[in-house]
Amino acid sequence: MTTRASSVQPDGGLPRSLRAGAFIAVVAGAVGSVGLTLYAGRQNPSRLLVALFAIWVLSPFLSVTIASRRSSAFARGPLYGEGPILTVGSLAMYLHPAWRPSGSGPAFVFLVVPLVSWLLIAIVVVTATLVSRGLHRCDAGA
């Protein structure tokens, strides 16, 4: 039997189920996105280029995972929420170009979506850090 106290972590009070769900969503998004990238690049003769695209597409998923483990407890909640959003958004954007006819050049989407994802991750981390510092100063000054 699990009690409510055992399902909450001392690192910000977030339930383990939220952390686990966000992690599962990020892993599923990473696997799906890389799979769609490899599928879209199946006709490309340059395996190196396809591998570089796959690494670029994987990078936002790795960064949100690393950031959620290394950031302050206050920033973890927004990062856990951003993981599923990143997954759904990326997979939705990658589905269309992956299933297009092979001659239509889907590279643009596979370049821009990770860039936008990186920007959103940076905005969440910076905003949460600034808000956390502001709250910390208010608590210290009171």
| 2-30 residue pLDDT tens | 555 444 454 556 677 888 888 999 999 99
pTM comes to 0.78
State the pLDDT at residue 136: 57
State the pLDDT at residue 97: 77
Q: Are 94 and 37 in contact (CB under 8 A)?
A: yes
Q: Are 84 and 23 in contact (CB under 8 A)?
A: no
User: pLDDT tens for residues 111-134?
Assistant: 999 999 999 999 988 888 888 777
Which one-letter amino acid corresponds to residue 37? T
For residue 126, give both structure tokens: 């910076």
User: pLDDT tens for residues 30-87?
Assistant: 999 999 999 988 888 999 999 999 999 999 999 998 888 877 777 788 888 888 999 9
Q: Report the distance separating Cα 61 and Cα 83, nearest Å.
A: 8
User: pLDDT tens for residues 97-107?
Assistant: 777 665 556 78
Q: Are 36 and 4 in contact (CB under 8 A)?
A: no
Which one-letter amino acid corresponds to residue 92? A
